[in-house]
Amino acid sequence: MPEFDTDSQLVQDYKYGFYTDIETDTLPKGLNEEVIAMISAKKEEPTWMLEWRLKAFRRWQKMKDPKWAFLDFPEIDYQDIHYYSAPKQAVESAELDPELQKTFERLGIPLNERDALSGVAMDVVFDSVSVGTTHQEMLEEQGIIFCSISEAIQNHPELVRQYLGTVVPPGDNFYAALNSAVFTDGSFCYIPKGVKCPVELSTYFRINAADTGQFERTLIVCDDNATCSYLEGCTAPQRDTNQLHAAVVEIVALENADVKYSTVQNWYAGDEEGKGGIYNFVTKRGHCRGRNSKISWTQVEVGAAITWKYPSCVLEGDNSVGEFYSVAFTNNHMQADTGTKMIHVGKNTSSTIVSKGISAGKSANNYRGLVQVMDGAKHARNHSACDSLLIGRECSANTFPYIECEEDSAALAHEATTSNISEDQLFYLQSRGISEEDAASMVVKGFCKDVFKQLPLEFSVEAVKLLEIKLEGSIG
């Protein structure tokens, strides 16, 4: 085998690593009931919301952070983090700060309606607040609510109260409890009965301020016979210190509802020595509550120093369908422990898992998944395929598939492969006139094809380009 060397080009190529110098309203570091009350007050929340946060906080204080994942990082000092930071102007006036406008132009995210992608409505979250949502009026005509969660708490409290925390309860796990106590913004989508959302709904998350945690909370509710497709993207400045992103995403799918949730995660991943980068500790779960409902997760994870994330589906409605398609790329000292949980409760429920892990450099890339078939989930079906591709010799890949089945009529299939980018594949393509780097990129893209084809078309093109940039310098 030729030696592959991974160099720093990857880091230099992180073109989202800049910082916007902007006047902010930031709470002092530290976490206590007073800080939570201040966050709630800044958001002008009703009392029930503050109570909910405090209850979660008291739960969290009794919890310990999970150690079972295959991750190695120093203890996080939760008192050394700012829990709220917002650009001043975004909060005080309706006009968007020109600096912010410039920032998002640089990121390629159009904030005004005129430049917005015609097929995509976008909510943009900068540190702790949403700074704008496009296409609001057009969506409102159809009865679709798409706004920041802070707005939803004020304007649609009955819907938020009905669904918030019903898929991921505040005490679900350490990071979810923390998020429930201090979440600052995120998106809220409600698709009413019978409405097929005509555009992609999208949220762009940007971490800007230093030493600040981003605690995003997103809630998507698709009512009977409704459908929607949602996409999130994320970037952050390049810094030497680690920053925490602990998000919670909840999806509720009622009868015949169909929700597609796609993620392109490109948080700053740290430098080639493993210094800095985002800790991406995320709880994402969908609940197929109604009959014939469907929730499909697609994730392309190419950033973050550490990823701890298991987008899951609880398949309660009979005939409901859960899907998980994932590409996770790690390089340098990145660590990923990611996968899914498919919990089969209803009859004739089915789930599909397609996971593609690519590790380069000295990185560690783990798939961890659970397929659980409860007693009574007659004729549940699952198909899992978990493939790992190694680039070079210093990286690692592991697959931890857990299966718990209490139902004799279930049909479960699991396949897993681990392979190196083979020298024979590279030689074959090179002998056809294709350069070694293009050949390797071709092999990797082919490896990920089953996942990329699940993404909405224009994002699929973006994801392929993003992966190409990430691969540059990791092969050759």
Listed ranges 13-21, 339-347, 371-379, 442-450: which one lies at the site for other proteins (CB under 8 A): 442-450
Q: Count interface residues toward other proteins (CB under 8 A).
A: 24
Cβ proximity of 216 and 185 under 8 Å? yes
Q: Which of 278, 79, 64, 76 is nearest to 177 (CA)?
A: 64
Q: Which is nearer to other proteins, 224 or 436 (CB)?
A: 436
The 3-state DSSP class for residue 307 equals strand
Does the protein bind other proteins through residue 418 (CB under 8 A)? Answer: no
Q: Contact with other proteins (CB under 8 A): which of 64, 67, 114, 432?
A: 432
Does the protein bind other proteins through residue 188 (CB under 8 A)? Answer: no
Does the protein bind other proteins through residue 472 (CB under 8 A)? Answer: no
Q: Contact with other proteins (CB under 8 A): which of 449, 457, 458, 465?
A: 449
Does the protein bind other proteins through residue 227 (CB under 8 A)? Answer: no
Does the protein bind other proteins through residue 73 (CB under 8 A)? Answer: no
Cα distance between residue 325 and residue 471, in whole Å: 20
Q: Contact with other proteins (CB under 8 A): which of 448, 455, 463, 467?
A: 448
Does the protein bind other proteins through residue 443 (CB under 8 A)? Answer: yes
Neighbours of 322 (CB within 10 A): 29
Does the protein bind other proteins through residue 435 (CB under 8 A)? Answer: yes
Q: Which is nearer to other proteins, 2 or 98 (CB)?
A: 2
How far apart are CB 17 and other proteins at their closest, in Å? Answer: 30
Q: Contact with other proteins (CB under 8 A): which of 50, 116, 138, 434?
A: 434
Q: Contact with other proteins (CB under 8 A): which of 18, 430, 472, 476?
A: 430
Q: Which is nearer to other proteins, 372 or 441 (CB)?
A: 441
The 3-state DSSP class for residue 222 equals strand
How far apart are CB 424 and other proteins at their closest, in Å? Answer: 5
State the DSSP code for 79: G
φ, ψ for residue 125, nearest 5 deg: -110, 120
How far apart are CB 451 and other proteins at their closest, in Å? Answer: 10
Q: Which is nearer to other proteins, 342 or 429 (CB)?
A: 429
Q: Which two tokens stand for residue 360?
A: 């380069």
How far apart are CB 104 and other proteins at their closest, in Å? Answer: 33
Does the protein bind other proteins through residue 47 (CB under 8 A)? Answer: no
Q: Which is nearer to other proteins, 86 or 397 (CB)?
A: 397
Cβ proximity of 355 and 370 under 8 Å? no
* CB contact set of 137 (below 8 Å; sequence gap of 6+): none
Q: Contact with other proteins (CB under 8 A): which of 25, 211, 450, 472?
A: 450
Beta strands 258-265 and 227-235, pairing class = parallel
Give the Å distances, CA to CA, from 111 to 98, 108, 122: 11, 9, 8
Neighbours of 290 (CB within 10 A): 22
Q: Contact with other proteins (CB under 8 A): which of 34, 92, 415, 423?
A: 423
Cβ proximity of 232 and 203 under 8 Å? yes
What Rg value do the Cα atoms of the chain yield, rounded? Answer: 22
Does the protein bind other proteins through residue 385 (CB under 8 A)? Answer: no
Q: Which of 358, 363, 263 is nearest to 311 (CA)?
A: 263
Cβ proximity of 168 and 179 under 8 Å? no
What amino acid is encoded at 7 in this protein?
A: D
Cβ proximity of 361 and 333 under 8 Å? yes
Does the protein bind other proteins through residue 438 (CB under 8 A)? Answer: yes
Does the protein bind other proteins through residue 425 (CB under 8 A)? Answer: yes
Sort 184 into a burial class: Cβ within 10 Å, 0-12 / 13-18 / 19+: buried
How far apart are CB 92 and other proteins at their closest, in Å? Answer: 50
Cα distance between residue 269 and residue 267, in whole Å: 6
Q: Which is nearer to other proteins, 51 or 423 (CB)?
A: 423
Q: For binding to other proteins (CB under 8 A), which residues are involved?
A: 2, 422-425, 427-436, 438, 442-443, 445-450
